[in-house]
Structure formats: structure tokens, C-alpha cells
Amino acid sequence: MDETIEDYQNGYRYQAGIFSCLYCKQQYEEGYIYPIDDKQAVAQRAMIHHLNTEHAGALGSLIAQRKEISGLSEIQQEILELFARKLSDSVIAQRMGISTSTVRNHRFKLREKEKQAKVFLSIMSLLNEEPFIPPHRGARMIDERYHITPEERNKVLATYFTEEGRLTSLPSKEKRKVIVLTKIVERFDTSKNYSEAAVNEILQLVNEDFVTLRRYLIEYGFMNRTKDGQSYWVVD
């Protein structure tokens, strides 16, 4: 199971009422009271006590992870352990037998590593998102109507179009309407101008209500026309 950032920060995973330690098999079930020294504690508090007494807390456990897991070198692990104790740079330098400037340099490099990690996490988050189909060029206002995934588009097209390409009905929901119009406008050549009669002729092949389709193509910015309505073209 993939742990979240919150799981790592806590040191445990919570699922289905169970608190599970990330570093051993210890579990505590919600709804029960557990003896802690001479006191009693609920499940979450018992897990925190377990982490602090058995694994040096959530932070200490993370720092102590193997290099292939944390990406930290031995020197970075050592200096992070000292940072965690809130020691001054001069004290850390004395304990490690290095100069204070070297300690400051380690701080700087770790901050750079943090920035790189944030960028990498953002990249992976975006990669894992289901992509949206880019809105058409003439879209009047980019809002939720245009948050369309390929899966959504395919489902709507299968619902409203026959195998022959006829539109069975005009959807009432805005997002579905945009998807349908995106498909219809593909019948027009972006390099051509069309008369109103030519537009009507093409749209009649899609649905008998060609007047409404023509109006929607204009209103939603898929097509444009001259003021006198003599010439139509695809917005591209």
C-alpha cells in the first residue's frame, strides 16, 4: 500500500478504524482503551506513545530510514538528527568536528533538496491526474463545462450519437452540450467559409433541428459569421 505524506508525518496509517505503525506490525483499534504506563489512552494516543518509545517518534523514524528509501546520505542523516534537537550551528559544528560554515552549507543544501522534492511531487501529482481535453479556441468562458476527460467525452458521444453519426437528441446539461458540439463542428473544414445554406445542409445530416445546432455553434464560439449572416467559418 502506498503511504501518503500525512501517513509519513504521523508515523502511522489509519484505515477502517485501525491505526497501523509504519515501522512494525503494531496496531491499535479505534473504540478501545489501552493501558499506557499507569494511565489509559485511546487508540491514536496509544500509537503516538508507541512511536515515541519504540521508534524515536515519527521524525526520528523517517530520518533513520535506509538511503534507498529516504535519499539521505549518512552525513545528512546525522546532521538532521542534530537539527531535530534544535541545537545551534556552533554546537552542531563542535559535535561533528566541522566548521559552522559547513553546517550552514548543509542547511542550504537540505533546503534546496526540499524545493526539488516539492517540484517533483507536483510533477507526479499532475502526471497522475486524468488529463482534460483542451477547450476549443473560441470558447467564451473557460469554466467547469470544459473540464472534460477523454473518458467523459467518449461516454457522451456513445450516448447521443448513432453509429451513422446522427445526433439522437440535444443534451440539456452544459458539459454534454459542449462535447456534442465539439463533435459536430468536426464536419466543417477549418480552411473554408460556408454560406448559411451550406451550414444548414451539413447540420441536417446530424439532426433535423439544424437551426438550434447552428445557433449553438455560434453561441458557444465554435463558429463565427459575418454580421449579415452570409458567411460562416470555424473558429480555429
The CATH code of the domain that includes 168 is 1.10.10
CATH number at residue 111: 1.10.10.10
pLDDT at 149: 85
Same structural domain, 184 and 166 = yes
Q: Which of 64, 81, 99 is the last residue of a domain?
A: 64
Same structural domain, 154 and 90 = no
Same structural domain, 189 and 167 = yes
Identify residue 200 by its one-letter amino acid code.
Answer: N
Q: Which helix (H) or strand (E) holds 225?
A: strand 223-225
Provide the whole-model pTM: 0.53
Give the Cα separation of 214 and 228 in Å (integer).
15
Helix axes 89-96, 74-84, angle to 10 degrees: 140
Same structural domain, 207 and 156 = yes
Asked, for residue 136, whether it belongs to a domain, the answer is: no
Same structural domain, 9 and 60 = yes
- pLDDT tens across the length of the chain (236 residues): 578 888 999 999 999 899 999 999 999 999 999 999 889 999 999 999 999 999 999 999 999 999 988 889 999 999 999 999 999 999 999 999 999 999 999 999 999 999 999 898 888 877 776 677 777 777 767 777 878 888 889 999 999 999 999 999 999 899 999 999 999 999 999 999 999 999 999 999 999 999 999 999 999 999 999 999 999 999 98
Asked, for residue 98, whether it belongs to a domain, the answer is: yes
Give the Cα separation of 69 and 21 in Å (integer).
17
Asked, for residue 163, whether it belongs to a domain, the answer is: yes
178-184 LR contacts (CB < 8 Å, sep 24+): 178/145, 178/146, 178/148, 178/220, 179/148, 179/152, 179/153, 180/156, 181/213, 181/216, 181/217, 181/220, 181/222, 182/136, 182/153, 182/222, 183/157, 184/213, 184/217, 184/222
Same structural domain, 160 and 221 = yes
Q: Which helix (H) or strand (E) holds 41?
A: strand 39-42
Same structural domain, 82 and 2 = no
| Residue 231, SS3 per DSSP | coil
Asked, for residue 220, whether it belongs to a domain, the answer is: yes
Domain that holds residue 175: 144-234
Q: Which of 17, 48, 64 is the last residue of a domain?
A: 64
Q: CB-side exposure of 20: number of CA atoms within 13 Å? A: 10
Asked, for residue 195, whether it belongs to a domain, the answer is: yes
Give the Cα separation of 96 and 83 in Å (integer).
12
Same structural domain, 171 and 197 = yes
Same structural domain, 152 and 216 = yes
Asked, for residue 83, whether it belongs to a domain, the answer is: yes
Same structural domain, 112 and 156 = no
- How is residue 61 written as a grid cell? 523514524
pLDDT at 183: 95
Q: Which helix (H) or strand (E) holds 233?
A: strand 232-234
pLDDT at 112: 94
Asked, for residue 137, whether it belongs to a domain, the answer is: no
- Among candidates 7, 84, 4, 81, which has minimal Cα distance to 47? 7
Same structural domain, 116 and 150 = no
pLDDT at 130: 66
Q: Which of 64, 87, 110 is the last residue of a domain?
A: 64
pLDDT at 147: 83
Asked, for residue 223, whether it belongs to a domain, the answer is: yes
The count of structural domains within the chain is 3
Same structural domain, 156 and 124 = no
Cα end-to-end distance, the chain, whole Å: 46
pLDDT at 45: 95
pLDDT at 144: 79
Sign of CA dihedral 70, 74, 76, 82: positive
